[in-house]
Amino acid sequence: MAKQSDVLSADFLVKVAEEFGTPVYIYHAEKIKTQYEKLQKAFRKADTRFFYACKALTNINVIRYIQSLGAGLDTVSIQEVMLGLKAGFNPKDIFYTPNCVDINEIIAAKDLGVNINIDNISILEQWGNKFGDSYPICIRLNPHIMAGGNYKISTGHVDSKFGISIHQLRHIERIVKSTKLKVTGLHMHTGSEIKDVDVFLRAVDIMFEIAANFDDLEFLDLGSGFKVAYQPGDPETDIELLGEKVSEAINKFSASYKRPLQLWFEPGKFLVSQAGYFVVKANVIKQTTATVFVGVNSGFNHLIRPMFYDAFHLIRNISHPKGTERIYTVVGNICETDTFGWDRKINEVREGDFLVFYNAGAYGFEMSSNFNSRLKPAEVLIKDGKPQLIRRADVLEDLLRNQIEIAL
């Protein structure tokens, strides 16, 4: 049995790897619960709802578990909406924020009864002309705030494709008035990995200023972007301070508005990132004139964040945790440059050892592929100390499932 704590031990991870094989993604339910409870505590002074941003990790077992904690579901595609419904969510507990999709997809979401968030003028006008005030909506605004740990995950700056510019407020008002749209929510999301509480407060001030122009609001959604630590000493969002300041601000604004307003957030990475472990096996130790490489049985086809976002993942040798520290560059087995980490201090690695990547719960398996015709790994959920397989590893037939062989 694993100890009921926030961190799974090296010995336990080795046992899971031996039982299910590698590469393998491992998720720790109790850590997800701890993160959710942190949010509830931090925002206890305001009427707040949390919608899990399932694009971080959509395994249906994880979605169901987070639902059991009391969260709603934040979705960005009609397929995520349908996954949420299949997982057992009530449509009113699903928030759908598409981007650059055909209006027919949004209409399909409407027919499923979920909350809809519209993020561009064209769709807003089409929607108003079709449905008027018969189906309430939320509007996603672009506050023109640069925030986030990487340009690729900053979504509220002036050149972002997300949201309707706050400088188009007059245009929004014209559409709302002329088509009799009922707007019950306003939404902003400035980016991911935001450690500065003041960024959220700037967005809140902008949101309040715009909210005063709408009569039917029921909630304000500030997205998410809470930063978690990726290594010891790494800065992260001060959730307690954020909750204190934002709760105070929303309560004050609600008192002056026409009715009390609910505060919504969409945490994804904050809930599942630190709950995830990715375990791989060292295939080869390869020394060149300048570098000692550890080549593992995975690549960016399984974990693309280091290559795509320059993301840092702490890597440790869980088979030989007390070995002498040496300097290694950890690389994958893909026929491309797929470096997980340069010049890392890791306890001596021997061929066959298991290495673990920490903070692998968000956008790990979710962004994986079958590049090089490599097979996707298994996923395992640890709950109450018990490991359970929640996705089997690919087999060759999975690569061929949707291919159609023709006579040539």
Neighbours of 123 (CB within 10 A): 19
CB contact at 8 A, 315 and 355: yes
In angstroms and rounded to an integer, the radius of gyration of the C-alpha atoms of the chain is 23
CB contact at 8 A, 78 and 99: no
Q: What are phi and psi of 140, to 5 degrees?
A: -90, 125
Answer yes or no: is 52 a known binding residue. no
Answer yes or no: is 37 a known binding residue. no
Amino acid occupying residue 140:
R
Question: What DSSP string describes 220-269?
Answer: EE----B---SSTT-----HHHHHHHHHHHHHHHHHHSSS--EEEE--SH
Answer yes or no: is 156 a known binding residue. no
- So which residues are the catalytic ones? 335
CB contact at 8 A, 302 and 340: no
Q: Is the dihedral of CA 279, 285, 286, 292 positive or negative?
A: positive
Answer yes or no: is 336 a known binding residue. yes
Q: For residue 250, what are its two tokens?
A: 């929303």
Measure Cα distances from 70 to 41, 51, 270 in Å: 13, 9, 16
Provide the β-strand partners of residue 118: 139
CB contact at 8 A, 218 and 177: no
Answer yes or no: is 305 a known binding residue. yes
Q: What are phi and psi of 49, to 5 degrees?
A: -120, 145
Q: Quote the CA–CA distance of 62 and 210 in Å, as a whole number.
A: 36
Any residues with CB less than 8 A from the CB of 385 and at least 6 apart, and which?
1, 2, 3, 4
Q: Quote the CA–CA distance of 166 and 196 in Å, as a whole number.
A: 22
Pairing of strands 219-221, 262-265: parallel
Q: Please enumerate, by residue number, every residue annotated as part of a binding site for substrate.
A: 305, 309, 336, 363
Q: Please enumerate, by residue number, every residue annotated as part of a binding site for pyridoxal 5'-phosphate.
A: 225, 363
Q: Please enumerate, by residue number, every residue annotated as part of a binding site.
A: 225, 305, 309, 336, 363
